[in-house]
Amino acid sequence: MDIEINHLRKTYGSAVAVADLSAKVPQGQMLALLGPSGCGKTTTLRMVAGFIEPTSGSIRAGGSDITRMPAHKRDTGLVFQNYALFPHMSAAENIAFGLRRRGVARAEREQRIGVMLDKLKLSGLADRLPRQLSGGQQQRVAVARALVINPSILLLDEPFSNLDAKLRESTGLEMSRLQREFGLTSIFVTHDQTEAMSIADTIAVMKDGELQQLGNASEIYQKPANRFVADFIGRANFLPGHIADRKEAHVSIVLTAGLTVELQADGVGGSPGDEGEVLLRPEAISVTDAGQANTLKATVEQISYQGSIANLHGRLPDGSAIVASVPPDTLRGLAPGDAASLVIRANAMRWFGRR
């Protein structure tokens, strides 16, 4: 069942929680609502779930308008941040809850619970109370409880935020596998960009109730629509400069750090004299010998090792900070205080004009 959100808006008095959100989630795909605290993610999800009535706009599921349909009539399974398990019920009883409410007969109930326990690797834990389960196990019970009623749509609100980093990753991947296996159309809320990028088909980046960009992980990372998205998704260096010259195919940008770079003209709005910043991802920088083209001079301030990569924190001649993520064996023995030559990949840069 596909979901279509059209010009969705929610205001509380003069406060705008969600300004004007439109997005489509094709059948079987996952949309992540991503953004900092207060950007309107939860409000959006709750409007799709039917817990909050939109001020205007519409929501369609499988072609039908569900904007004003009561929550319990929607074909949705829900998983919340705190799992909201019933503390006095065992894992199996928690999973059974929705089936009982729907009057599913005992034999079928037990069969369906068994399937869920198996699919979510909970066999052997059926009789435990939530407090006797780990955070990851509780989370899987909550997912099983949502899936057992065979919903067409799955809505998840920060479902992994109580888990530690490693478990988050494996549970997230497991979730996306289940979502595909069940053919569920899902929307999930997160403020964690890595999580959104690793499991969602499409990401809606939001800020202050406004949709900033809708795209897949590589689009929003490589072609961020604006400076906010560039900064929120992954790590970013922003180097100040101005447009010096504009030709058919290329635009020359003079960086205040002391380098002129040529960017493809179609990705750069603005005219000569305009000031702005160039986005440069840390991994688009390498340490090199002096004398190569596209090289910035930096003074090394700190080097932090992270296993397969090292982050070189440096200072450019104009005082800007810069971070380069490089394989540790390419550091050439650099240490704080040393002068480093950093070669940058111009085709990985993007220009954001100052408004």
What residue ranges bind ligand ATP (CB under 6 A)? 12, 15, 17, 35, 37-43, 191
For the CB of residue 181, give the shortest distance to ligand ATP in the complex, in Å.
28
Q: For residues 155 and 259, which CB has a smaller minimum distance to ligand ATP in the complex?
A: 155
Helix (H, G, I), strand (E, B) or coil at 293: coil
Looking up tokens 């440069």, which residue turns up?
Answer: 280
Distance of CA 4 to the CA centre of its chain: 20
Q: Which two tokens stand for residue 186?
A: 């899902």
Q: For residues 8 and 312, which CB has a smaller minimum distance to ligand ATP in the complex?
A: 8
For the CB of residue 167, give the shortest distance to ligand ATP in the complex, in Å.
20
* Strand intervals (E) in 128-184: 153-157
Q: For residues 194 and 330, which CB has a smaller minimum distance to ligand ATP in the complex?
A: 194
* Strand intervals (E) in 63-192: 64-65, 76-79, 153-157, 185-190
Helix (H, G, I), strand (E, B) or coil at 97: helix
260, 254 in Cβ contact below 8 A?
yes
For the CB of residue 6, give the shortest distance to ligand ATP in the complex, in Å.
18
Residues 6+ apart with CB under 8 A from 333: none
Residue 294 burial (10 A CB sphere; 0-12, 13-18, 19+): middle
Q: For residues 44 and 67, which CB has a smaller minimum distance to ligand ATP in the complex?
A: 44
Please report which residue ranges of 120-164 form alpha helices under DSSP H.
135-147
For the CB of residue 12, give the shortest distance to ligand ATP in the complex, in Å.
3
20, 57 in Cβ contact below 8 A?
yes
Q: For residues 43 and 237, which CB has a smaller minimum distance to ligand ATP in the complex?
A: 43
For the CB of residue 158, give the shortest distance to ligand ATP in the complex, in Å.
7
Q: For residues 109 and 207, which CB has a smaller minimum distance to ligand ATP in the complex?
A: 207
For the CB of residue 41, give the shortest distance to ligand ATP in the complex, in Å.
4
Helix (H, G, I), strand (E, B) or coil at 27: coil
What single DSSP character describes residue 328?
G
Sheet hosting strand 64-65, strand order edge to edge: 15-25, 3-12, 56-61, 64-65
Q: For residues 12 and 337, which CB has a smaller minimum distance to ligand ATP in the complex?
A: 12
What spatial distance separates the first Cα and last Cα of the chain, rounded to whole Å? 41
For the CB of residue 329, give the shortest distance to ligand ATP in the complex, in Å.
40
Phi and psi, residue 9, nearest 5°: -145, 140
Q: Are strands 3-12 and 15-25 parallel, antiparallel or unpaired?
A: antiparallel
Q: For residues 17 and 48, which CB has a smaller minimum distance to ligand ATP in the complex?
A: 17
What is d(CA 154, CA 214) in angstroms, rounded to the nearest whole number? 20
Q: For residues 191 and 297, which CB has a smaller minimum distance to ligand ATP in the complex?
A: 191
113, 148 in Cβ contact below 8 A?
yes
For the CB of residue 1, give the shortest distance to ligand ATP in the complex, in Å.
24
For the CB of residue 3, give the shortest distance to ligand ATP in the complex, in Å.
18
